[in-house]
Structure 1
Amino acid sequence: MKPIRNSAKAVIIHDGRLLVIRLEDQYGTAYVFPGGGQEKGEELKDAVARECLEEIGQAVTVGELLHIREYIGKNHEFAEWDADVHQVEFYFECTLKDAGATVFEGSNPDDHQVAVEWIALEDLPSVRLYPKTIGELLLKRLPSRIYLGDLN
């Protein structure tokens, strides 16, 4: 069994749009938040800043912790190949240091990553966003709930 993994994610909203990574997989297009695994000896805020450089090619200012979500693979739609994954995800409010950035090319993109895009918050219900619940909270502009548990 794999160890539990920490992952730091960026929630970047500007002018009513959310910055996301577009992936292409066997089911089509999906969107995820920039971010990834915390390395040993690295603080979570440093992990999300590093991951943003790697995936979107932009420096960010890391703000407040918004949500903590668990992903227990055996409970989700990808259980067939993700059953042994248990990840704790920390979602931080972030802003781009270059607010006018138009080029997003990271040095180490995710597997299946094909682009970085802005999606209008009101369009989130019509796209395949993971985790969907965080998109719903952002769309409704609900206050952060911090611990969300194992959800999609």
Structure 2
Amino acid sequence: MEKIRLRSCALIISNGAVLLIEFRNDQDSGVHYNLPAGGVEPGETLVEAVIREAREEASVDIEVGPVAFVYEYQPTKNNNLYGETHSVSVTFQCDLKPGSTPKLPDNPDSNQTGVKWISIEELPSIQLYPEICQDIMNYYNGLPYRNYVEEHEIQRERLMGGSP
């Protein structure tokens, strides 16, 4: 039986910017970004996991709102691009609790280099994983967007030189 990793993610937008976690790339001197996110632990709900992950990765307390996106990575449909584990990520629209200020945690992941507010307009110029910058921009601007995204669709669009 194939195991599926369940992940929970926070989409935190404030003053026209998205809160992102900055990571050093393994293969070069560049950086990439992720939403605050991580795996759901045994006995934990998706909401409990997103609250914990936001605290662990960005040192913030959040209010969890509705689901904004569901992203699925299926290894065999992607030639194992990101490994052999099938994963499903549920991204919630979240707000910072009053007085909560994002900052690098005391004990960040070894590749985590920052916690940054990136303006909505800047999103196309950064490397975000998964590659849903346009979807986030459309979501923010009240335009149609993909609320269910499959990684192999992102890769097909990249090959065709398009965007969603």
Count of residue correspondences: 148
The 3-state SS of whatever aligns with 1:123 is helix
Name which one, 1 or 2, has greater alpha-carbon Rg.
2
Instruction: Please give the root-mean-square deviation of Cα atoms over the aligned residues, in Å.
Output: 2.3
Structure 1 counterpart of 2:97: 97
Gaps of 5+ in 1: none
| Distance of 1:85 and 1:108 partners within structure 2 | 26
Structure 1 counterpart of 2:122: 123
Structure 2 counterpart of 1:149: 150
1:13 aligns with 2:31: no
Q: What amino acid is aligned across from residue 11 of structure 2 in structure 1?
A: V
The 3-state SS of whatever aligns with 1:68 is strand
1:138 aligns with 2:136: yes
Structure 2 counterpart of 1:50: 52
| Distance of 2:117 and 2:3 partners within structure 1 | 33
The 3-state SS of whatever aligns with 2:33 is strand
Q: CA deviation at 1:109?
A: 2.7
Distance 1:111 1:77, change over 3 A: farther
Q: What amino acid is aligned across from residue 21 of structure 2 in structure 1?
A: I
| Contact 1:74/1:85 (8 A) holds in 2 | no
Distance 1:21 1:75, change over 3 A: farther
| Distance of 2:120 and 2:75 partners within structure 1 | 27
| Contact 2:20/2:36 (8 A) holds in 1 | yes
Q: CA deviation at 1:74?
A: 5.1
Distance 1:88 1:128, change over 3 A: same
Gaps of 5+ in 2: 155-164
The 3-state SS of whatever aligns with 1:9 is strand
1:84 aligns with 2:84: yes
Q: CA deviation at 1:47?
A: 0.3
- Normalised to the residue count of structure 2, the TM-score between the two structures is 0.79
| Distance of 1:109 and 1:76 partners within structure 2 | 29
